[in-house]
């Protein structure tokens, strides 16, 4: 709380120095205490100048996924009202899941600079090198049945695609069921996990991993990062991106709560990389090929075979047939 | 392991004494060690006679839900290969869930003599007074999608109904979605919980609570116990019941793995307390009334309104209209 108070004073006076006296007055603590808090902020990556007789000045804020940076100017009501930030975790989804089990409220967000065991769908890995991507998991407690859960992934995909488009102008597309592509390559994956009774979801942990500044050599084949695709040195900051994603997520989530998954699915279709195209899908025990015809209410992919027959696919790996 | 070895020698010689010498030979330990293990078994409730010069004799086994008793003569391959037994827990489902998260294998069973926070559907309570009921949770890892989870509850209901009928002759019926009734009163409840991704179940914790010797005064309204309904002092033992339920569960589970949920649902219909009857269902935001027409493939109740229109109900509280 005091750190944030001091940060606010410095942020509000970025083009000048704030004297120790003034900071003591506003924060209502001693000079020594001010110094201690400034040191702590510096440890977190804030660049703070201390000039004799003049006082303190905020020179630069870190592009670090820490609560004070993410919360600063964040326009959400629920998502991010609690933020837990880690330098290194096994998996943000695992941390968030365990917090949710202990009763953590909807909207809590777990962030990490690095994941040592980043997870993808079905036990796969998600490359999570340090300080280059956004590894974010969010606790949601929607009033839905387990068979509606796919809608949460669709909703998140729409939010991320919109965020990327809005911040970078890149033509982000959604690949069913859980990836965001730029120029045909994976830039983001979504992992939705839940605890549920048979007819009621207890909580959802929505995990989002985005390659922001990640170097190609640290990524698997067929993956890319925002910076790589933007082709300039300084893309949007990870902090800026995280805030936009939380805001966009909240917008879609509120829309869903008001009107169900219908409008979200309509948006999803606009961003789809594959609807209308020929696809091959690897199912657990066979492969099928046809036209990606539609996404239905349950988030399933409807495939149209050459015979005209339609099949609903709930799960599988899709590749485009060229 | 040694306890079980000693127990086996004693069980195989119930009408005679086994000399210390013989036990030392078979178990390959000292006289003093034999004595220590016998004391431990006595602590668990085994009545073991020690006669000078003659040796040890097993007089009575406890009706206690401990691994050595449940595993003795249990005819299952998977369910119960690991049994964890507690005197008192918060909820066996909570314990089993947490074990499953740590990687505990399919078939592990958690038993307790008493639950201080026994759970029912939707955060309700399940009365679990000490040593009178069976409080059992089972870890399953079926290869199913989250929208098939209701089938696991149906399967368990069939297994319990069959066990009650087989052991007691009572006319046990299933009340959708998760109760077993005898003479119209609740004798068993089933709570199915899962961890899942959007298209794949990670694990299921199947919780079963049965009132065996429970006194009516310890139960909520409209509930009963096996002993109460059998109207004699000594019903089947809790150990015997637990074994039968595990065996019956495994049978249904294997059937489902081979042939899907179809045959299980057919059996379910035979034991249904309500199909064909007039029911009133309390849904989250309204009440409906009609004929309980069918159970569909997803385990949903199909209600036929007076207009002839059918509605699928995934979740709700049902009461019979007389």
Decide if A194 touches B, using CB distance below 8 A.
Answer: yes
Report the gap between the CA of A124 and the closest CA in chain B (Å).
12
Are both B53 and B160 inside the same structural domain? Answer: no
Give yes or no for residue B50 having a pLDDT over 80: yes
Q: Domain end: B238, B254, B270, which one?
A: B270
DSSP assignments along A49-96, one per residue = EEETTTEEEEEE------HHHHHTT---SSTTSEEEEEEEES-HHHHH
pLDDT, mean of residues B186-202:
96
Are both B292 and B249 inside the same structural domain? Answer: no
pLDDT of B223 reads 94
pTM: 0.90
Question: Per-residue b/e over A107-131, b at no fewer than 16 CB within 10 Å?
Answer: bbbbbbbbbeebbbbeeeebbbbee
Neighbours of B62 (CB within 10 A): 18
CA pair distance B68, B85, nearest whole angstrom = 10
Number of domains chain B contains: 3
Are both A293 and A241 inside the same structural domain? Answer: no
Give me the domain span that covers residue B297: 278-320
Give yes or no for residue B6 having a pLDDT over 80: yes
Average pLDDT score, chain A: 93
Q: Are B212 and B241 in contact (CB under 8 A)?
A: yes
The per-residue pLDDT for range B29-43, each reduced to its tens digit, is: 888 889 899 999 999
Size of interface A-B (CB pairs under 8 A): 78
Q: How high is the ipTM of this complex?
A: 0.87
CA pair distance A214, A219, nearest whole angstrom = 7
Cβ distance B195 to A195 less than 8 Å, yes or no, reads: yes
Are both B31 and B136 inside the same structural domain? Answer: no
Residue located via tokens 């899941």: A97
Cβ distance A315 to B122 less than 8 Å, yes or no, reads: no
Lowest mean pLDDT among A276-280, B180-184, B284-288: B284-288
Decide if B193 touches A, using CB distance below 8 A.
Answer: yes
Cβ distance B194 to A121 less than 8 Å, yes or no, reads: no
Give yes or no for residue B231 having a pLDDT over 80: no
Are both B113 and B206 inside the same structural domain? Answer: yes
Decide if B198 touches A, using CB distance below 8 A.
Answer: yes
Give yes or no for residue B20 having a pLDDT over 90: no
Lowest mean pLDDT among A52-56, A85-89, B132-136: A52-56
Cβ distance A199 to B177 less than 8 Å, yes or no, reads: yes
When pLDDT is cut at 50, 70 and 90, the band that residue A297 belongs to is: confident
Q: Percent of chain A beyond pLDDT 70?
A: 100
Are both A49 and A124 inside the same structural domain? Answer: no
Q: Domain end: B43, B60, B77, which one?
A: B60
pLDDT, mean of residues A201-221:
94
Give yes or no for residue B2 having a pLDDT over 80: no
CA pair distance A38, A47, nearest whole angstrom = 10
Are both B287 and B217 inside the same structural domain? Answer: no
Helix H or strand E segment including B211:
strand B200-211
The CATH number of residue A11's host domain is 1.10.10.10
When pLDDT is cut at 50, 70 and 90, the band that residue A279 belongs to is: very high
pLDDT, mean of residues B115-144:
93
pLDDT, mean of residues B311-316:
90
Q: What angle do CA A108, A110, A113 make, to 5 degrees?
A: 155
pLDDT of A277 reads 95
Decide if B252 touches A, using CB distance below 8 A.
Answer: no
DSSP assignments along B23-58, one per residue = HHHHHTS-HHHHHHHHHHHHHTT-EEEEETTTEEEE
Q: Percent of chain A beyond pLDDT 90?
A: 75
Lowest mean pLDDT among A73-77, A227-231, B199-203: A227-231
Q: Angle of helix A150-168 relative to helix A262-270, nearest 10 degrees?
A: 50
The per-residue pLDDT for range B205-216, each reduced to its tens digit, is: 999 999 999 988
pLDDT of A233 reads 73
Cβ distance B196 to A191 less than 8 Å, yes or no, reads: no
Residues of A in contact with B199 (CB under 8 A): 121, 150, 177, 314-315
Which of the residues A198, A298, A300, A312 would you substitute to probe the B interface, choosing the one with the greatest number of B C-beta atoms within 10 Å? A198
Give yes or no for residue A190 having a pLDDT over 90: yes
CA-nearest residue to A193 within chain B is: B197
Residue that wins the pLDDT comparison between B188 and A32? B188
pLDDT, mean of residues A79-107:
96
Q: Nearest Cα to A127, choosing from A206, A207, A181, A189?
A: A189
Decide if B145 touches A, using CB distance below 8 A.
Answer: yes
When pLDDT is cut at 50, 70 and 90, the band that residue B63 belongs to is: confident
Scanning chain B, the segments in alpha helix (DSSP H) are: 2-11, 20-27, 31-43, 67-71, 92-101, 150-168, 226-230, 238-259, 262-270
Residue located via tokens 């009365």: B127
Residue that wins the pLDDT comparison between A147 and B203? B203
Are both B206 and B311 inside the same structural domain? Answer: no
pLDDT of A74 reads 95
CA pair distance B289, B161, nearest whole angstrom = 26
Scanning chain A, the segments in alpha helix (DSSP H) are: 2-11, 20-27, 31-43, 67-71, 92-101, 150-168, 226-230, 238-259, 262-270
CA pair distance A93, B9, nearest whole angstrom = 50
Are both A236 and A94 inside the same structural domain? Answer: yes
pLDDT, mean of residues A8-24:
89
When pLDDT is cut at 50, 70 and 90, the band that residue B251 belongs to is: very high
The per-residue pLDDT for range B66-97, each reduced to its tens digit, is: 999 999 999 999 999 999 999 999 999 999 99
The per-residue pLDDT for range A115-168, each reduced to its tens digit, is: 999 999 888 999 998 888 999 999 999 999 999 999 999 999 999 999 999 999
pLDDT of A105 reads 97
Q: Nearest Cα to B279, choosing from B244, B247, B311?
A: B311
Residues of B in contact with A143 (CB under 8 A): 284
Are both A166 and A252 inside the same structural domain? Answer: yes
Decide if B146 touches A, using CB distance below 8 A.
Answer: yes
CA pair distance B240, B63, nearest whole angstrom = 9
Decide if A234 touches B, using CB distance below 8 A.
Answer: no
Report the gap between the CA of A98 and the closest CA in chain B (Å).
10
pLDDT, mean of residues A66-92:
95
Please classify residue B209 by burial: count the beta carbons closer than 10 Å to its beta carbon, then call 0-12 exposed, 13-18 middle and 19+ buried: buried
Q: Nearest Cα to A65, choosing from A245, A229, A233?
A: A245
Are both A120 and A241 inside the same structural domain? Answer: yes
Q: Are A281 and A288 in contact (CB under 8 A)?
A: yes
Decide if B154 touches A, using CB distance below 8 A.
Answer: no
Please classify residue A216 by burial: count the beta carbons closer than 10 Å to its beta carbon, then call 0-12 exposed, 13-18 middle and 19+ buried: middle
C-alpha dihedral (B168, B169, B170, B172), degrees to nearest 10: 100
The CATH number of residue A113's host domain is 3.30.930.10
Cβ distance A191 to B197 less than 8 Å, yes or no, reads: yes
When pLDDT is cut at 50, 70 and 90, the band that residue B167 belongs to is: very high
B261 three-class SS: coil
Q: Which residues 285-314 of chain A have a CB within 8 Å of chain B?
A: 298-299, 314
pLDDT of A315 reads 86
The CATH number of residue A303's host domain is 2.30.30.100
Average pLDDT score, chain B: 93
Are both A253 and A305 inside the same structural domain? Answer: no
Q: Domain end: B10, B29, B60, which one?
A: B60
When pLDDT is cut at 50, 70 and 90, the band that residue A26 belongs to is: confident
A228 three-class SS: helix
Give yes or no for residue B1 having a pLDDT over 80: no
């Amino acid at each position: 709380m005091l750190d944030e108070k001091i940060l606010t004073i410095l942020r509000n006076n970025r083009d000048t120095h704030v004297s120790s006296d003034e900071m003591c007055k506003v924060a209502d603590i001693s000079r020594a205490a001010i110094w201690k808090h400034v040191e702590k902020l510096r440890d977190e990556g804030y660049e703070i100048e201390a000039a004799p007789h003049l006082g303190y000045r905020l020179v630069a804020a870190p592009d670090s996924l820490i609560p004070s940076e993410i919360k600063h100017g964040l326009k959400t009501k629920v998502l991010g009202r609690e933020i837990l930030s880690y330098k290194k975790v096994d998996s943000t989804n695992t941390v968030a899941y365990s917090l949710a089990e202990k009763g953590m409220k909807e909207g809590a967000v777990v962030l990490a600079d690095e994941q040592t065991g980043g997870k993808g769908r079905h036990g796969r890995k998600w490359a999570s090198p340090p300080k280059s991507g956004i590894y974010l998991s969010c606790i949601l407690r929607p009033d839905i049945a387990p068979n509606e859960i796919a809608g949460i992934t669709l909703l998140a995909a729409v939010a991320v695609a919109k965020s990327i488009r809005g911040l970078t102008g890149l033509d982000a597309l959604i690949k069913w069921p859980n990836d965001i592509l730029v120029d045909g390559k994976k830039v983001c994956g979504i992992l939705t996990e839940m605890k549920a009774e048979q007819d009621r979801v207890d909580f959802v942990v929505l995990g989002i991993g985005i390659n922001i500044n990640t170097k190609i050599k640290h990524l698997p084949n067929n993956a890319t990062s925002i910076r790589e695709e933007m082709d300039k040195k300084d893309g949007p900051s990870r902090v800026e991106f995280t805030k936009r994603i939380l805001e966009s997520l909240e917008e879609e989530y509120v829309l869903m709560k008001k009107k169900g998954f219908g409008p979200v699915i309509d948006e999803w279709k606009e961003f789809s990389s594959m609807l209308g195209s020929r696809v091959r899908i690897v199912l657990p025990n066979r492969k099928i090929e046809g036209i990606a015809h539609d996404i239905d209410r349950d988030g399933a992919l409807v495939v149209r075979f050459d015979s005209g027959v339609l099949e609903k696919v709930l799960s599988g790996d899709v590749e485009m047939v060229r």
